[in-house]
């Protein structure tokens, strides 16, 4: 009898679990279908992945839009970035549009991938109310597929060389010594810093391609060409980037880290003298309150090659609208009049969420001129936005991730001193194998 | 015995009907669908029929070969170690003389209740460059400089193998323990009277008696290792290079990280199916009852 009771209990528990699972998925899928049924209220659903950053941006935009459209309502569904991408892919591949939002956050490398993999799914903004000439050209380039623009540019990841003024002055370097340097000079400075202070110059993570991406874009190149072919052989920028990567690794000035939290931990703990990263890294750097006033930002080091500039980009995202959405017009109008053309939005986005956009008219506003006590009273945002206008525009193509993985596969050999030309040919071959 | 469809068997069929229909719908139907999908290739929703194209691509795909090599390496190194350790521990815990048996059993089984992701994150932090393991070795003066375990292809694999062994040994141990408890103690008694050593008893009595269970755990572990995903993604994310990437992670990458090619991803999944089937067949042949 005991056994029977137990099994009944188990079955009940199982059923309850299964049913509640159904219930919860029902709740989250019914969003779009009933959005206009609520008489008068116009509701738009958006997917984003960081409630304190891009989710927050939507909330700011909603407040601005509501001033003229009091009936407007926005629901932000917050998910982890990988979950969002997985859910989107599954939904679109299955051809199920129910449960999809009206607005979607898409990061730069995914733009072409989504537009090409799911044709007709995303709304075109080419002839919309958004004036794309007001945005940084490289962001618009990234959003353009076959001459059509699919979305509204959002935040940018213009990079800078964040450095600890105290460590560098202990090693005998002033702010001018870091202004517009080359990577070779950076390595030389790093050697002196390591010798005099015992601190590492930077971190290195062979499993992360952020560093190579920054270098490539700073000279207007990328892992793949505009027509989605591998860009590893006969590409002087790629050869130079990997030579520098090996030089940094060999010089011993970089602390090896294996993941993001270790990377952030290394500068929060004061183990490294510099961080080359996107403007969004400011928030993480400022987490170490004891380092207040000890940081400053210089332009990104450049590759000493024709076309190499002291500016690059790391990350950034955009807002897409689903073409099949029942609220397509409203969603496009909402994005167009806030994120796509409101200086007020970008000022508030900067002051409230620390985010930097690519909307040029906002750059001259007061918010962008503010100085930061944490960064030695430097007007950091004005500097970053100035650099952002110099970032070379590139096409990210649709196979960035494949190309990065092909490179990652060969990177250990390169760092062990294998013939670079031969390694690059291997990478090219592996990449072509991957994208057939 | 008159009428094959008597009342009780009719009731029986009614019970079987619903689960069978559900299994057909949710298990077999997708299997067939994905098999059909494995003959298509393309990007996302733009795909076309390519016949055996995906299968011939598979044979010359260096990424797949790398993933297969890694997975098989985990399999042939990790599974025997784990199963043998499971056997030894089960044998020790089965000893009636052991005190605090309940405590040890719980302690060794405990890793199995931890979530795959959380124990992976734990292992990752233990073996980080400034992780506790490096600190320990440095304090013991075994090494002078911290070793980047997860950045060396060999050590990264060792860490993965260590992690899955830690997680799954206790799980297999429980199976062996329950099998050993079913062995009649008088068999051992008779053996000791005949002068068989403890060592001899273990290899000549215990192991043959639990052989069906060993076969069962071997198949389960083989299957589990071929589907290895969480640990690798969380500890090394396939790195350094692609030195620890498993087949499952490759399938995931093909569908959700790269430009989605669901057709080719389905082809790789079917490669796992075929490998599991072959291995299970071999294990049954080698370890199974000879009739």
CATH code at position A400: 3.40.190.10
Residue from B240, B249, B268 whose CB has the most chain A CBs within 10 Å, to mutate: B240
Sequence-distant (6+) residues with CB within 8 A of A334 are A44, A61, A62, A65, A69, A72, A74, A103
For the stretch B108-160, pLDDT in tens is: 999 999 999 999 999 999 998 888 999 999 999 888 888 888 888 899 999 99
Rounded to a whole number, what is the distance in Å from the CA of B202 to chain A's nearest CA? 34
Residue A10 lies in a domain: no
Least reliable range by pLDDT among A220-234, A318-332, B38-52, B67-81: B38-52
pLDDT at B99: 85
Task: Please report how the helices B211-226 and B262-287 are oriented relative to each other, as an axis angle in degrees rounded to 10.
Answer: 160
Contacting A with CB below 8 Å, chain B residues are 43-46, 57, 60-63, 66, 124, 128-130, 148, 150-151, 153, 236-237, 239-243, 253, 255-260, 262
A310 lies in the same domain as A272? yes
Determine the residue of chain B that is closest to A228 in CA distance.
B259
- Where are the alpha helices (H) located in A198-257, listed in sequence order? 210-218, 236-251
Whether this model's pTM surpasses 0.90: no
Residues A214 and A124 in one domain: no
Do A245 and A324 reside in the same domain of the chain?
A: no
pLDDT > 90 in chain A, percent: 57
- Asked whether the bond before B29 is cis by omega within 30 degrees of 0, the reply is no
Cβ-nearest to B128 among A85, A258, A435? A258
Q: A113 with A227, same domain?
A: no
B61-84 confidence digits (pLDDT tens):
888 999 999 999 999 999 999 999
What's the rounded mean pLDDT across residues A201-225? 91
CB contact under 8 A, B45 and A93: yes
How many domains, in total, are found in chain A? Answer: 2
Same domain, residue pair A98 and A163: no
Task: Using CB atoms, pick whichever of A117, A206, A256 lies closest to residue B43.
Answer: A117
Give the pLDDT band (50/70/90) at residue B289. low
Separation of CA A208 from chain center = 14
CB contact under 8 A, B45 and A92: yes
Q: What is the mean pLDDT of residues A148-165?
A: 94
**For chain B, what is the largest distance between any 2 Cα atoms, rounded to a whole number of angstroms?**
84
pLDDT band (50, 70, 90) for residue A38: very low
Q: Which domain holds residue A260?
A: 158-314+384-434
Please, which residues bridge with residue A159 across strands? A278
> What pLDDT, on a 0 to 100 scale, did the predictor assign at position A35?
42
Residues A100, A194 within the same domain: no
Per the CB < 8 A criterion, the answer to whether B199 and B113 are in contact is: no
Is A1 within the bounds of a domain?
Answer: no
Q: Say what the pLDDT of residue B6 is.
A: 75
Give the lowest-confidence range in A24-33, A397-406, B33-42, B276-285: A24-33
Q: Does A252 touch chain B (CB under 8 A)?
A: no
Give residue A4's region: left, alpha or beta (phi > 0; psi -120 to 50).
alpha
A206 touches chain B (CB under 8 A): yes
Distance in angstroms (rounded) separating the CA atoms of residues A339 and A359? 8
Q: State the pLDDT confidence band at B3, using cuts at 50, 70 and 90.
A: low
Q: Are residues A213 and A281 in the same domain?
A: yes
H, E, C per residue of chain B: CCCCCCHHHHHHHHHHHHHHHHHHHHHHHHHHHHHHHCCEEEECCEEEECCCHHHHHHHCCHHHHHHHHHHHHHHHHHHHHHHHHHHHHHHHHHCCCCCCHHHHHHHHHHHHHCCHHHHHHHHHHHCCCCCHHHHHHHHCCCCCCCCCHHHCHHHHHHHHHHHHHHHHHHHHHHHHHHHHHCCCHHHHHHHHHCCCCHHHHHHHHHHHHCHHHHHHHHHHHHHHHHCCCHHHHHHCCCCCCCCCCCHHHHHHHHHHHCCCCHHHHHHHHHHHHHHHHHHHHHHHHHHCCCC
Residue A36 has pLDDT above 80, yes or no: no
pLDDT in tens, B201-237: 888 889 999 999 999 999 899 989 988 999 999 998 8
Which helix H or strand E contains A107, and what residues bound it? strand A103-107
- A117 → closest Cβ in B60, B61, B260: B260
Helices A400-415 and A420-434, interaxial angle, to 10°? 150
| Mean pLDDT, residues B18-22 | 94
Taking the C-alpha atoms of residue B170 and residue B119, their distance in angstroms, rounded to an integer, is: 14
> Do A293 and A241 reside in the same domain of the chain?
yes
* Whole-number pLDDT of residue B157: 94
Neighbours of A291 (CB within 10 A): 17
Q: Do A310 and A405 sit in the same domain of this protein? A: yes
Task: Give the number of other CB atoms < 10 A from CB of residue A36.
Answer: 14
* pLDDT mean across residues, chain A: 87
Residue B290's pLDDT band, with cuts at 50, 70 and 90, is low
pLDDT of residue A3: 52
Residues A214 and A332 in one domain: no
Higher pLDDT, B60 or A31: B60
Q: Give the minimum alpha-carbon distance from A276 to chain B in angstroms, rounded to a whole number.
A: 21
B256/A85 CB distance under 8 A: yes
Do A354 and A424 belong together in one domain?
Answer: no
Q: How many CB atoms lie under 10 A from the CB of residue A173?
A: 18
Q: Are residues A52 and A168 in the same domain?
A: no
Q: CA–CA separation, A57 vs A350, rounded Å?
A: 9
Question: pLDDT > 90: what percent of chain B?
Answer: 48
Element holding A157 (H helix, E strand): strand A152-164
Residue given tokens 């297999």 in the structure block: B172
**CATH superfamily to which B71-287 belongs:** MetI-like (1.10.3720.10)
Residue A273 has pLDDT above 70, yes or no: yes
For residue B20, the model assigns a pLDDT of 94
The minimum CA-CA distance between B242 and chain A, rounded to whole Å, is 5
Residue that is written with structure tokens 């309150």 in the block = A289
In a domain, A377, yes or no: no
Query: Among A328, A365, A327, which residue's Cα sits nearest to residue A345?
Result: A365
pLDDT score for A81: 87
Residues A403 and B91: their CA atoms lie apart, in Å, by 51
Nearest by Cα to B143 from B155, B133, B153: B133
Task: Note the pLDDT of residue A5.
Answer: 54
How do residues B166-183 score in pLDDT, each as one tens digit?
999 999 999 999 999 989
CA–CA min distance A352, chain B (Å) = 32
Residue A158 has pLDDT above 80, yes or no: yes
Determine phi and psi for B99, rounding to 5 degrees.
Answer: -90, 160
| pLDDT over 60 at B264, yes or no | yes
Is A300 part of any domain?
yes
Residue A61 burial class via C-beta count within 10 angstroms: exposed 0-12, middle 13-18, buried 19 and up: buried
Share of chain B above pLDDT 70, in %: 97
């Amino acid at each position: 009898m005991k056994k029977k009771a137990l099994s009944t209990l188990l079955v009940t528990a199982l059923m309850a679990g299964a049913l509640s699972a159904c219930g919860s998925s029902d709740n989250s899928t019914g969003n779009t279908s009933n959005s206009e049924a609520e008489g008068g209220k116009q509701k738009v659903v958006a997917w984003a992945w960081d409630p304190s950053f891009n989710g927050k941006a939507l909330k700011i935009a909603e407040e601005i839009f509501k001033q003229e459209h009091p009936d407007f309502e926005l629901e932000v569904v917050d998910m982890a970035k990988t979950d969002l991408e997985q859910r989107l892919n599954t939904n679109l591949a299955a051809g199920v549009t129910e449960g999809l939002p009206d607005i979607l956050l898409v990061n730069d490398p995914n733009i072409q991938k989504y537009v090409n993999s799911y044709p007709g799914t995303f709304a075109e903004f080419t002839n919309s109310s958004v004036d794309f000439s007001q945005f940084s050209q490289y962001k618009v380039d990234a959003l353009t597929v076959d001459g059509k623009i699919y979305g509204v540019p959002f935040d940018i990841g213009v990079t800078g060389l964040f450095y600890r003024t105290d460590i560098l002055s202990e090693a005998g370097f002033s702010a001018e010594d870091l202004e517009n340097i080359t990577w070779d000079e950076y390595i030389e400075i790093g050697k002196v810093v390591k010798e005099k202070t015992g601190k590492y110059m930077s971190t290195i993570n062979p499993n992360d391609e952020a560093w190579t991406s920054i270098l490539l874009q700073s000279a207007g190149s990328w892992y793949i060409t505009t027509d989605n072919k591998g860009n590893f052989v006969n590409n002087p920028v790629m050869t130079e980037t990997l030579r520098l990567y090996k030089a940094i690794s060999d010089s011993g000035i970089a602390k090896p880290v294996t993941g993001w939290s270790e990377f952030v931990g290394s500068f929060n703990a004061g183990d490294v003298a510099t961080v080359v990263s996107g403007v969004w890294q400011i928030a993480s750097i400022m987490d170490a309150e004891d380092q207040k006033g000890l940081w400053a930002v210089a332009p990104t080091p450049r590759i000493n090659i024709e076309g190499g500039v002291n500016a690059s980009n790391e990350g950034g995202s955009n807002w897409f609208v689903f073409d099949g959405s029942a609220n397509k017009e409203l969603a496009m109008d909402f994005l167009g009049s806030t994120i796509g053309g409101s200086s007020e939005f970008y000022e508030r986005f900067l002051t409230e969420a620390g985010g930097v956009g690519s909307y040029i008219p906002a750059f001259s506003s007061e918010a962008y001129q503010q100085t930061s006590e944490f960064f030695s009273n430097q007007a950091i945002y004005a500097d970053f936005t100035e650099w952002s206008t110099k970032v070379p525009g590139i096409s990210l193509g649709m196979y960035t991730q494949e190309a990065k993985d092909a490179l990652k596969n060969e990177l250990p050999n390169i760092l062990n001193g294998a013939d670079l030309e031969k390694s690059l040919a291997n990478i090219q071959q592996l990449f072509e194998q991957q994208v057939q | 015995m008159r009428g094959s469809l008597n009342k009780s068997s009719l009731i029986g069929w009614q019970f079987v009907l619903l689960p069978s229909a559900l299994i057909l719908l949710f298990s077999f139907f997708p299997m067939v669908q994905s098999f059909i999908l494995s003959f298509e290739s393309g990007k996302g929703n733009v795909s076309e029929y390519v016949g055996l194209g995906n299968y011939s691509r598979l044979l010359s795909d260096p990424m797949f070969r790398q993933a297969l090599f890694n997975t098989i390496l985990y399999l042939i190194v990790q599974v025997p170690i784990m199963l043998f350790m499971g056997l030894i521990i089960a044998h020790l815990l089965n000893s009636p003389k052991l005190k605090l048996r309940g405590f040890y059993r719980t302690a060794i089984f405990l890793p199995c209740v931890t979530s795959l992701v959380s124990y992976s994150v734990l292992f990752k932090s233990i073996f980080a460059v400034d992780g506790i393991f490096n600190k320990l070795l440095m304090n013991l003066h075994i090494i002078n400089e911290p070793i980047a375990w997860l950045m060396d292809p060999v050590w990264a694999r060792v860490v993965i193998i260590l992690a899955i062994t830690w997680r799954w040994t206790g799980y297999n141990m429980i199976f062996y323990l329950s099998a050993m408890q079913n062995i009649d103690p008088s068999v051992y008694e008779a053996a000791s009277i005949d002068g068989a050593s403890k060592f001899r008893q273990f290899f000549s009595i215990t192991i043959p008696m639990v052989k069906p269970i060993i076969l069962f755990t071997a198949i389960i572990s083989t299957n589990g290792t071929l589907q290895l995903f969480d640990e690798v993604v969380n500890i090394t994310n396939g790195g350094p290079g692609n030195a620890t990437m498993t087949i499952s992670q490759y399938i995931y990458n093909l569908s959700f990280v790269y430009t989605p090619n669901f057709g080719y991803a389905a082809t790789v999944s079917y490669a796992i199916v075929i490998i599991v089937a072959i291995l299970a067949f071999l294990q049954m042949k080698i370890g199974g009852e000879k009739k």
